[in-house]
Each structure stands twice: as C-alpha cells, then as structure tokens.
Amino acid sequence: MTRRIIAIVIAMAMCLGFAGCGAEENSNVLRVAMECAYAPYNWSQADDSNGAVPIAGTNNYAYGYDVMMAKLIAESMGKELEIVKLDWDALVPAVMSGDVDMVIAGQSITSERLEMVDFSDPYFYASIVTLTKNDSAYANAASVADLAGAVCTSQLGTIWYDICLPQIPDADIQNAQETAPAMLVALDSGAVDLVVTDMPTAMAAVAVYDDMTLLDFTGTDGEFEVSEEEINLGISIQKGNTELLDAVNAVLATLTVEDYEAMMADAIAVQPLSE
C-alpha cells in the first residue's frame, strides 16, 4: 500500500469519525464533489451566470466543464444537483465514505484510484503538455529531453507531478502545489521555469496569461510517457454502486468526443479571468 493510499484511507476514517460527515439520505439529490478551483474543469464564482450551480454551504456558485457534465447526469436521472466543494485529496475519501455520490473533477483513471473507487467510462481525453514563459530558456523546447535541468512543479496528487515531472532529465522538482491556480501562480511569479499539466488547463492558462506559451510534444518521440488510463478522465463512484455507474455511463454513451471538445471550449470561453 502506497503512502498516498494510506493517507486517503486515514482521511476517510477521520471523516467517518465525525458526526454529520455522512450525507443524509435523499434520493432526489445528486451530490457531486469537485474542487471548485480548477478552471476550466470547475471553478467558483459569485453568481449563477452561464448556468452556474450553488455550492453547498456557501454563497458562491460552481461552473465549468465538470458542472456542465454533472447537470447532464442529474437531469437524466431526474435529480436535483448539489455541488460539494472539497480539497483535491478529500475527493476520493468522500466517495469511499458515501458522503457524496460521485466526484467529477478531472480525475485520471489510475490503477491506484481504482483500488478505492469505481470509475465511469472516460468523460474527457486530456493530453499532457508543458507551460513556460514566453521568454524562458525552454520556450522553444521540442521534447521532454529539451526541458533538462528545469525548475518545475505541478499540482499535488496528479500524474503531472508524480509521473511526468520525474521524466525530465535532471529536473529540479519543487514542492507540489495544492491547486491548479497555485501552480500557475508559481510559474507566473518566476518561482519555477515550467509546469506540466493537461491541455484544457493549459489552454485556459494561455487565455489569461499572455506571457505564457504552451508546449505540446504529443505524438512525437519526445512526448511524456503516460498510459491511456492516466490521460483518460473519469467520474469516480463508490465501489459496487453499479446502478449509479450504469446511469452515468448511459449518459456518456450519448456524447461524442466532438461533444466533449465543444463543451470544454464553452467552459474555456467563460472561465474567470482570475482565481
């Protein structure tokens, strides 16, 4: 058992130990957890513009690609959607404990997570890319090898940090950042030379930061080595809940890759300009 799995199990046990941690039984409400801080997948905003949904226990609203998907699923099931805002490392424990029905938060379908939760079919396919500054020594890099020696970081608990950054030769890997916005701030401030992330996050970043450039090595000999499961994003559900899993997959079966890309483009177009 890895340290991350142990930490998640401990977090779940702590959650179960507190009164009121579990969700109340309400068959007409679909509780969906996400960070609400991971544009363009999900973010927080002050109003319900563009169809944003209230975040439980707050005066804020959530929107983004993940909220769009959650609304489709809730509507298909005839349920009221409730968005639950949680830190990244609390998402899997919340599903395991039954505190939420599912997580839609840009999670990769990794073998490690599959030990703890079930996953839907992919609801997005995200390639791995690099972000650096326009005037960086790495701005013209054409492969992972060209990033050698870079000071770098990424988001905590992601394949970007755990699997991709170590593939950079002689990388000076800094502490992982708690959130995607924090990761981008680290790059913008000059604390690091580059960050590794997925394509939608990078596209959202360059739309906001005009001094950042996106490097995509996908399909070349110099790309990051990741498995299909690591770049396919899924919706996590409590193990054994086949009824809910089948309902989610039935919705996904009605959508095409083109539908996913169109929804993501819509999310990027209305993302907040700051986090």
Nearest to 30 by CA among 267, 250, 253, 237: 237
Q: If pLDDT is split at 50, 70 and 90, which confidence band does 74 have?
A: very high
pLDDT of amino acid 5: 41
Q: Which of 17-31, 85-99, 239-253 has the lowest mean pLDDT?
A: 17-31
More confident residue, 127 or 20: 127
Tell me the pLDDT of the chain averaged across its residues: 90
Residues 6 or more apart whose Cβ sits within 8 Å of residue 191: 151, 153, 174
Q: If pLDDT is split at 50, 70 and 90, which confidence band does 25 have?
A: low
Which DSSP string corresponds to 43-105? EEESS-GGG-EEBTTSS-EEESHHHHHHHHHHHHHT-EEEEEE--HHHHHHHHHHTSSSEEEE
Residues 139, 109, single domain; the answer is no
Residues 98, 183, single domain; the answer is no
Residues 117, 243, single domain; the answer is yes
Q: How many other CB atoms sit within 10 Å of the CB of residue 191? A: 12
Instruction: Confirm whether 184 is domain-assigned.
Output: yes
Q: Which residues lie across from 62 on neighbouring strands? A: 44, 53
The token duo for 123 is 């609801």
Contact 14, 28 (CB under 8 A): no
Instruction: Confirm whether 78 is domain-assigned.
Output: yes
The token duo for 162 is 């755990």
pLDDT of amino acid 157: 87
Residues 6 or more apart whose Cβ sits within 8 Å of residue 157: 4, 88, 89, 176
Both ends of the chain: CA-CA distance in Å?
35
Residues 90, 148, single domain; the answer is no
Residues 250, 265, single domain; the answer is yes
The phi-psi region of residue 137 (left if phi > 0; otherwise alpha if psi is between -120 and 50; otherwise beta) is: alpha
Instruction: Confirm whether 91 is domain-assigned.
Output: yes
Percent of the chain with pLDDT over 70: 89
Instruction: Confirm whether 239 is domain-assigned.
Output: yes
Burial of 139 (0-12, 13-18, 19+ CB in 10 A): middle
Q: How many other CB atoms sit within 10 Å of the CB of residue 247? A: 17
Q: How many residues appear in the chain?
A: 275
User: Between the CA of residue 228 and those of 89, 105, 116, 155, what are the distances in Å?
Assistant: 22, 18, 19, 20
Residues 55, 151, single domain; the answer is no
Q: How far apart are CA 175 and CA 122, in angstroms?
A: 29
Residues 13, 57, single domain; the answer is yes
| Tally of domains in the chain | 2
SS3 24: coil
Residues 200, 252, single domain; the answer is no
Q: For residue range 155-175, list pLDDT tens digits in order.
A: 998 999 999 999 999 999 999
Contact 22, 31 (CB under 8 A): no
- CATH number for the domain spanning 153: value is 3.40.190.10
Instruction: Confirm whether 72 is domain-assigned.
Output: yes
Q: Which domain holds residue 166?
A: 128-217
Residue 9 has pLDDT above 60, yes or no: no
Residue 189 has pLDDT above 60, yes or no: yes
Instruction: Confirm whether 228 is domain-assigned.
Output: no
Residues 158, 197, single domain; the answer is yes
Which residue intervals of the chain are DSSP H helices?
3-17, 65-77, 88-97, 111-114, 159, 180-188, 199-208, 228-231, 242-252, 257-270
Instruction: Confirm whether 265 is domain-assigned.
Output: yes
Residues 185, 60, single domain; the answer is no
Nearest to 195 by CA among 206, 11, 104: 206
Residues 163, 182, single domain; the answer is yes
Instruction: Confirm whether 222 is domain-assigned.
Output: no
Residues 240, 213, single domain; the answer is no
Q: Which residues lie across from 152 on neighbouring strands? A: 173, 194
